[in-house]
Amino acid sequence: MKRLGVLVLLLLVPLVLAGTFYWQATQGLPSEAELASFSPALPSTVRDVNGEVATIYTRERRIYVPFDELPPQLVQAFISAEDKTFFEHEGIDWVGIAGAVVTNVQSFFSDKRPVGASTITQQVAKSLVGNEVSLWRKVREAILARRLEAVLSKQQILEIYLNQIFLGRNAYGVEAAAQSYFGKSVEQLRLEEIAYLAILPKAPSTYDPVRQQGRALARRDYVLGRMLADGKISAAERAAAAAMPLEAVPNRAIPRGRQDYFIEDVRRTLIAKYGDAPEDGPNSVYGGGLWVRTSLDPVMQAAAEAAMRDGMTRYESQRAWRGPAGQIEAGDGWQNRLSGVAVALGYPSWVKAVVLSKKGNDSTIGLSDGSTATLPGRNAAKPYRATNRSAAQVLKPGDVIIVTRTSSGWALRQTPEISGGMVVEEVATGRVRAMVGGFDARAQAFNRATQANRQPGSTFKPIVYATAMDNGFTPASIVVDGPYCVFQTKLLGTKCFRNFGNMRGAGAQTLRWGLEQSRNLMTVRVADATGMDRIVTQAKALGIGDYQPVLSIALGAGETTVLKLTNAYAQIFNQGRRVEPSLIDYVQDRTGKVIWRRDTRGCPGCNAPRWNGEAMPRPQGRVVQAIDARTAYQIVHVMEGVIQRGTGTALAVLDRPLAGKTGTTNGPNDVWFVGGTPDIVAGLYLGYDQPRAMGGYAQGGTMAAPIWRQWGEAALKDWPKKPFVIPPGVRMVRIDRRSGQRVFGMWPDGGPRPAVIWEAFKPQSEPRRTERAEDVLARRGSSRIRSDAQFLEQEGGIY
């Protein structure tokens, strides 16, 4: 009996040890259920408003191709090269392992390299357990290989393998490798090219088509021989393929598509929502294979980038040269060192260069492509900052500079020190059509459109006047443009306000005139009468900011971003209806399922196959008013006057209904313009990142408005010219533009500065006093009167 117990113990101990070993080896491995739902890492694709691919978020070349779309000859090439018994074993090739052991024992006493016996299934398992070189990893790999064979078909395993295997040049999978090495898709590959890809899984760098071409050709021919031996190609096909040279395209960077501030902001939003890497979740940006539809308008984005860059460089052209963008050693290997220097180039025609040598004021420069050229001294004649010397005189070998080719040869340029941001937004939806956050998104990560808090200056004044119109004022209300002082505290004393540029007061004027001419004294007087608590409440409701109720806020002293202020204007232009800015319309996972949508409103009947003859279905949802629709129209109507005869007349040449407001902060440190059409609103500012004076001549109307005009000329040329819609409850009344009094017997003449204009009033708020047409004309020094009949005939009616 004792002997039996010992025998049982001797049998149980190995079994327990084996069970413990197996349990330990399987810890952390994916279960069969997890393997059945395994999905390889895939890049995320971003599309623009037209559905075209804008960019791909990827750190590796990965292009997934289903098994049914892979060429059979390519599949067989990899089987012949890597695992000829793939369709016969169950994940582990025991015969191959035995052969490898014998071969490696023999190799131990010779110079032959060891051989492996990993099957294709084991190579797939290896990608899940890691690349650690150890027997323990091989055991875990074998266990996982058996699990894979239990839950996946051979075709599914091949599909994962051929889309996941690393093949060099940062390419993962055969499709990415085909494009990387041969510049074509897998279905376009010839036999010799297929055979070359099949040699790469073992050691891609060992068979580089340029540096190791001889070794690569020998190994390629070996694979062709294996395919012949397996009966997959004929002898004639093998001979023809072996006779072909190995012609690969040069290694190129991963094509990523657009690289701008809009795309980068989308990326940051997605990472915050879904994570960065595959380990962060199934829908990660760099592994989840997301399909992202955005509101990016390529035309508007390109126009915004060009207008902002041109505006920055115009301002910079009047400034001295600040010095080189960097410094490197100018000796051998300068090209590689130059490529490592990040420089904000902005324009496609601008390139970075390094000064290699000097001869007088002329410099020999090295360009990014490895070529050399001459930078004439006459093309680098800008004065060097704080000296009486030119840039050409102070350049020295090793200086990294920016140059561009001109009709007179290469010329020196520099990245503008001033910067800014711009946002373009749809009025009705809040969808952002374009975004610029600086001079060059590739070298300047800080997005000034969303991250820079700046004082908006006079672009905040429409909020003040709109709040006033909600509290008893009208566009025709008379306000004194004159000295205005307020007592603050005993410590701070009395504060007296001034007009911009210390302009003298103009006396009693209409509210409209005060906004058109951007008068500070009138604004603070209106703000004080309205109540700053009401004004900051309205600013908060529009999403501009949460401010203290002090009078300086009325002149734009509270900080905000371009995105917030542009969105506030969009709500005003949208008849006061609240909209939230958004860059992403919806996000789909790799299977096409929508996992996030911007517009979550229901719409019963919208997807019906046929119209039932009843009222057209509309999206459900409650409309939230951020500001009274009538007030919103009143302030828009006044801002139309800013363009026609106020501080924004630089935009009148666009010849379309426009409304907007210029802004200039103290210093002046920043210049602004925000405005647009009934469909599109765009806002922008220019200023130094560390706020400082831009110069006394810098104003919103002379610097920011021309940028907006350049953008509008390109972006709005195909958009229809539509008037702003008058909401219910607004009465259009003829008034004398300067006095604000109601006029009878005289009509607007259509010019930019008419004596009589149409003004928007809420019911029972229109002026009670009236003027005769003769009195209005006498004050204007004119005798022109259009009768009612003439007006109706010439204008075609009243709208």
Catalogue the active-site residues. Answer: 82, 458
DSSP letter for each residue of 312-338: HHHHHTTS-B---SEE---STTHHHHH
- Inter-axis angle of helices 191-198 and 72-82, nearest 10: 40
Q: Report how far residue 487's alpha carbon sits from residue 225's, in angstroms, rounded to the nearest whole number.
A: 96
Which pairs with CB-CB distance under 8 Å and at least 24 residues apart come from 362-370?
362/392, 363/392, 363/395, 365/401, 365/403, 365/410, 366/330, 366/334, 366/335, 366/338, 367/403, 368/335, 368/338, 368/339, 370/335
Q: Report how far residue 314's alpha carbon sits from residue 696's, in angstroms, rounded to the nearest whole number.
A: 16
Token pair for residue 577?
Answer: 């209806």
Q: Do 416 and 402 contact (CB within 8 A), yes or no?
A: no
Residue partners of 382: CB distance under 8 A and separation at least 6: 320, 321, 390, 391, 412
Q: In this structure, which amino acid lies at residue 113?
A: R
Q: Report how far residue 197's alpha carbon sits from residue 74's, in angstroms, rounded to the nearest whole number.
A: 9
Which pairs with CB-CB distance under 8 Å and at least 24 residues apart come from 588-593?
588/290, 588/291, 588/292, 588/293, 589/282, 589/283, 589/288, 589/289, 589/290, 589/291, 590/39, 590/42, 590/288, 590/289, 590/290, 590/291, 592/291
- Tell me how crowded residue 401 is: count the other CB atoms within 10 A of its CB: 25
- Tell me how crowded residue 763 is: count the other CB atoms within 10 A of its CB: 9
